[in-house]
Structure 1
Amino acid sequence: MVQLKRRLTREAAYKALHGSAQRHAREIAADQPGSKEKLFAPRLLPAYKAACRRKRDFIRETEEAERCLVRLAEALRVIMNDKEFLSLLMSEGFATIPNCVVQRLHDATSEAATAKHAGMSPAGSSAGRQLVSGICPDVLAFLQDCFVKVKIFGLLRHVLPARQMEIARLMVAMERVTFTYAKILIAFTPRPLLAEGFDPTTIANVSEDQLGAMTPELGRLSSEFLRAVERRGSASLELVAASRYFERLMDNSKVVRYLAHNFPDQFEEFHSLSID
């Protein structure tokens, strides 16, 4: 007699999958050979400075794009009250303004628009999630499409789940999912976010004074950088759409003459955007 295989219940299937995930995580999270090798100052400090410099550059570029959009919206808000100019836009085929520009025009203030983007936060939270052999499940999911060296997970066990997720986001955003960069971020983790009993000087050859001075700076830059990452995509898309629209405007002789004669300040703003 052929014995039929019994179908797993949903609960049993979940337990089987969860057990498999735990076994996999135990394997990838275990301390790997070489994970306790220290980073010494000749290698650590230049890498630290380079990471800070890249973050500052990214933040500055994001803020410049946002300031440009703010100036653009303010300039456009002034001339859009001119009925003759609106008629000119319609007659010349420019009545359809990009949605992103229209949205900024409808915002109560330019600061409100910036605050709206700055207040965005990534979906989900690492708090309260059951760890899989010391690794936050959200981190495993976040990094599943990245090539991650096995020993990086051994490092992540030395910090709390919220910091694990922050480090994962920083590595991906910086395009540096590397063991060295992970070790730098672990070494310069604020004390309250370290796992109990872990001493960062065991993986980085830096003094307590250096840690005390450099950790707050990297933490502040990292927070600003991640907020800029959240805003950068939408700001860049808005700027591209606005630039293309105003390039077309600046190629129209009638529009150029009208703006130059009636709105010289706004004309300069639109002209500079079209040639950037």
Structure 2
Amino acid sequence: MTHMEKMPPPKSPGFEANLRTIQIDAILPVKQLPATVPKSQKYGQIAASIREVGLIEPPVVAHAAGQEGSFILLDGHVRLHVLKEMGETTVTCLVATDDESFTYNKRISRLATIQEHKMILRAVERGVSEARIAAALNVNIALIRQKRTLLNGICPEAAELLKAGHCPINSFRSLRKMKPLRQIQAAELMIAANNYTVPYVEAILAASDATDLVDPAAKKPPAGVTREQAERMKAEMANLQKNIKLIEGTLGPDHLRLVVAGRYVERLLQNDRLARYLDKNHGEILGVFRQIAAGLAQPVSSTEAGSNRGA
């Protein structure tokens, strides 16, 4: 390295190193929960789990620009609502250091199944019985035991990938038959296709080489599929895997540009004069703009649908 070259500045961490206890009144939600949410069964399960085993994951907040001592709630709207109803005045939070309030909720999507698995393990470690957990989640004990052992035989890298999708419990059955590297590839295929269903994972298993399986001798051709079809499916899976690698480099920047453009449209609609003009002269364009703004306001599918860790 010559004397003219400079080391790149170190990247700052995305979150403060320590959790912070914050007054609930100082936290500003970025969205209003629909009136139907507190009446839903899932809300009741989250509330019961918080009462029984405590808050599994702290809400995520960021400093509110220009408002000293105030924070914007990025993740955890249901959890915060439950805590308010319980009469709590403070909550332990994870504080984001980057100003990412416009993208955070759109970039995360937790897998309810895996989060419930982690919640159950933590509760068991604290001495909570399986029967008590089952009562809190309103499910039977057999299901709790199945969720407790959910990640047995699943490599950590695949589990980390799959927490970004809603994956049925039975899909893990096929993943366990694969070796770790193939599990990771399967997880990437599921994410790329946005398909976590049991039949799709079984198709990935059927298209896997015997050498990629934990027990190669147990590999059987899928029912109703010819050898030629199985080979074609295998080739298509391999091609999809290559395409995943090609788009990975551009996905992040493209998504960021899309979100920034969407937020700009949202700010335009906050101008009453402009909104009235569009309504009078260009109603179709105004309708499209409102659809874009509504799309940004929509919560991620599983953020509020999992255990209290992901809500």
Q: TM-score, normalized by length of structure 2?
A: 0.32
Q: Work out which of the two has the higher radius of gyration on C-alpha atoms and give 1 or 2.
A: 1
Higher RCO structure, 1 or 2 (CA under 8 Å, sep 6+): 1
Q: Which has the higher helix share?
A: 1
